[in-house]
Amino acid sequence: MIVQFTDEQKKIAHWFFESNSTSVDDFIDGWNSKNIFSDDQKNYLNDCKKYGDKIRQKPPTEEQHYVPRTYLKRFINPDYLPHFKLETLDVRKKILMEPQTVKKVCKDTYFYSVETWRPDFISQIIEDLFWRFENEFGQLYDWLVEDILSDKQIDEWKIRKLCLFICTLWMRGKYFRDQTNKMSEDSYKHMLKFSYKHYFKDEKELTPEVEKIILEWDYNLVFNNSQHIQFISNEDNIYWFANMFFWKRIIIYIATWERNFATSDNPVVEIFPADRMKWPWWIWFLERIHYFVLHPRILIEFDGSHESGKKIKRKRVDDEKVTYYNLLRSAFSDFMYSKSKNDFISKEYSLSQLIYISDLVNILGSKKLIQDKKIVDDCLLRAKNDWFKFENNYEMFKYYGLLSSFFEE
């Protein structure tokens, strides 16, 4: 049952939470009326106060991980035990870093505070909230992995728990926060432009000077993490999106050769497929594709755009396809983590891009990929005119001496 409060009740509740009183009745004992809150409201507030006092008694968690360590430990290189170290790729610089411990990655000081780096109580509440979700799923993590790898039937309740865990990883992360802030920033800048044009009715267009000021206006200097915090602190949002994940078509990819699926600082990749865009900047949630690496040998795809008689399918994939999915993840990540350095061979990433260039363009639609695809299409036309049929794009480029277009020396 959802308990609703008026604005006046919210003020009083806030004062109650800041007081030393342990119950609402004690707090309002000196007030003229004791009927400010209903019994349901009182019970709810008393439970919240009890929970808050319990959190306050714990030492504050300063270094807060937006990707949980319990998850990252699944991807450690066993050669480094007892130290839990991950092979790390800096995606932007395209270099292999020194192996990182799970404790040092995917974190920030008071990440869940309204203003990052500044301690506040809400960050401790959210840290505890996600810890509960992690702990609950952690009890069946290995069980689910075993069911998948051994081709056992997966119970529906396990999939629901999986979707709930995935949803928390998706919503709590830095990438989701940046996207939320970007949407807010774009909306606010659009409002600024509209307000300016409305105020200066004689101006048909913005002057270049005003346009530059609006474009360079730094949203982050004025606003904070409050929108993201408010969204993820509402458990109704978490459960609603978890149900959306559950009702999508689910494909489980299992790596069968040497290469592993890599995870990253963005463990749940959300893709707006370019070939499904109906609006310039939007696509319905069910038509988006989400990829989540459950285990170095297991990648899970969620896609609600296709009808499927069977909800869950398993597909076994080779190293080439594993590398393709790792390449796809790299487009949405700053750092990638895996248990083997061989998962990050740059030549193999280039090879994967060359072979799956059409798929990548349909999904990502970036200008660079479109330019690369034009090179491939021109080469395919050349091969057709020469009456050649190659096994794949790599063999074709090798024959025509065009590998330098994709492979860095």
Give pLDDT, residue 281: 56
Considering the domain architecture, whether residues 342 and 376 belong to the same structural domain is answered as no
Answer yes or no: is 207 within a domain. Answer: no
Give pLDDT, residue 364: 82
> What's the helix, strand, coil split of the chain in %, to 5?
55, 15, 35
Is the bond leading into 82 cis (omega within 30 degrees of zero)? yes
Considering the domain architecture, whether residues 72 and 145 belong to the same structural domain is answered as yes
Q: 150-177 burial string, b = 16+ CB within 10 Å, else e?
A: eeeebeeeebebbbbbbbbbbbbbbbbb
Considering the domain architecture, whether residues 319 and 283 belong to the same structural domain is answered as yes
Considering the domain architecture, whether residues 271 and 315 belong to the same structural domain is answered as yes
Considering the domain architecture, whether residues 72 and 151 belong to the same structural domain is answered as yes
Considering the domain architecture, whether residues 167 and 91 belong to the same structural domain is answered as yes
Answer yes or no: is 272 within a domain. Answer: yes
Q: Which residues contact 185 (CB under 8 A, 6 or more apart)?
A: 219
Q: Residues 38-95: pLDDT tens digits? A: 888 888 888 888 888 888 888 888 999 999 999 999 999 999 988 999 999 998 888 8
Residues of the chain with pLDDT under 70: 1-2, 30-34, 184-207, 209-223, 278-282, 306-310, 407-409
Q: What is the C-alpha separation between 148 and 376, in angstroms, rounded?
A: 37
Considering the domain architecture, whether residues 251 and 279 belong to the same structural domain is answered as yes
What is the extent of the structural domain holding 43? 7-57
Answer yes or no: is 185 within a domain. Answer: no
Answer yes or no: is 199 within a domain. Answer: no
Answer yes or no: is 193 within a domain. Answer: no
Give pLDDT, residue 226: 82
Give pLDDT, residue 49: 84
Contact assessment for residue 66 and residue 174, using Cβ atoms and an 8 Å cutoff: yes
Give pLDDT, residue 66: 95
3-state secondary structure of 82: coil
Give pLDDT, residue 409: 41
Contact assessment for residue 305 and residue 233, using Cβ atoms and an 8 Å cutoff: no
Q: 268-277 burial string, b = 16+ CB within 10 Å, else e?
A: bbbbebbeee
Give pLDDT, residue 337: 96
Give pLDDT, residue 299: 98
Give pLDDT, residue 278: 67
Considering the domain architecture, whether residues 263 and 331 belong to the same structural domain is answered as yes
Q: How many structural domains does the chain have?
A: 3
Q: 337-354 burial string, b = 16+ CB within 10 Å, else e?
A: bbbbeebbeeebbbbbbb
Structure tokens at 190: 């659009």
Give pLDDT, residue 223: 59
Considering the domain architecture, whether residues 163 and 309 belong to the same structural domain is answered as yes
CA-wise closest residue to 166 among 305, 78, 298: 298
Considering the domain architecture, whether residues 129 and 263 belong to the same structural domain is answered as yes
